[in-house]
Amino acid sequence: MDRKTVEQFRLALFGRMVMGVSHEVDNHLSVVLGFAELLQVMGGEEKKALEGAGKILSAGEKIAAIIKQFSHYVRPHAPVAESFSFFTVLSEIVLFSRYDLGRGNVTLLMPATEGAGRMRGDSRDYALALLAVLLNGAEAMAGRGGALTVGTAVREGFCHVTVADRGTGIPQEIMPRIFEEGFTSKPESLHSGMGLPVARHIVSAMGGDITVENLPGEGCLVALRVPAI
């Protein structure tokens, strides 16, 4: 897989998320507009005016953070080797992907602490791989809902990140093809069949690997393993 393929997938994936980003921004923008109007009506009530101004400032900062992180991670770039925290990357991408991940009554359960340590590679590429896995998990639960659980651990010199969904699992007959470029079992035109192949390419470039297995009963577990530093 070449760099052009990775960047094409990046633009396609983030393009799908524009409506979700718009939804998140609109939520906070309604706060800004609502309290701005309230300030006009209240006039000289200083305490309420200050409270309203504080809410406007908070909502404005949230809007700025969403746009900043979305712009940072969507931008095509030449990969760089850098030290970064998994927890930081996860927190930043959730700012603009929360709506897309939460569609269909899906709840994202994030690790409570920075359990995955630090790793070396391109943080924006790793975020792309992680987003692909998270969105796959959320889509697997479409129509039924449930918890999409992210787990982290450091073992034997590797950062282990797991994403567990509560979907119907992957049929055994297609399991051997899930990393095949362009393969998808979903008929919708939005699915290119490139999520897992791109994720594996990125994780492999960091010296790691990615595995997928069905969970007992129902659901699927995707594990990303890269060297810790």
- Under a CB-based contact definition with an 8 Å cutoff, are residues 154 and 116 in contact? yes
Q: In this structure, are residues 40 and 26 in contact, taking their beta carbons and an 8 Å threshold?
A: no
Report, in this order, helix, strand and coil percent for the chain, each rounded to 5: 50, 20, 30
Q: What is the pTM of this model?
A: 0.84
- Tell me the CA distances in angstroms from 18 to 4, 67, 85, 124, 162, one per residue in order: 21, 11, 26, 18, 26
Cα 187 from Cα 91, distance rounded (Å): 31
The predicted structure's pLDDT at residue 189? 47
Which residues fall within 8 angstroms of residue 70, CB to CB, at 6 or more apart? Answer: 14, 17, 21, 95, 96
Cβ 201 vs Cβ 79: under 8 Å? no
Walk along the chain (229 residues) and give the pLDDT tens digit of each residue. Answer: 899 999 999 999 998 888 788 888 878 888 877 777 777 666 666 777 777 777 887 888 888 889 999 999 999 999 999 999 999 999 999 999 998 999 889 999 998 776 567 999 999 999 999 999 999 999 999 888 999 999 999 999 999 999 999 999 999 999 999 999 988 877 654 567 899 999 999 999 999 999 999 999 889 999 999 999 9
Domain boundaries, the chain: 79-227
Write out the two tokens for 123. 């943080």
Which pLDDT score, from 0 to 100, does residue 191 have? 61
Pick one of 3.30.565.10, 3.30.70.360, 3.40.50.300, 3.30.390.10 as the CATH number of 79-227.
3.30.565.10
- Determine whether 140 is exposed, middle or buried from the number of CB atoms within 10 Å of its CB (0-12, 13-18, 19+): buried
- Give residue 56's pLDDT: 81
Q: How many CB atoms lie within 10 A of CB 118?
A: 15
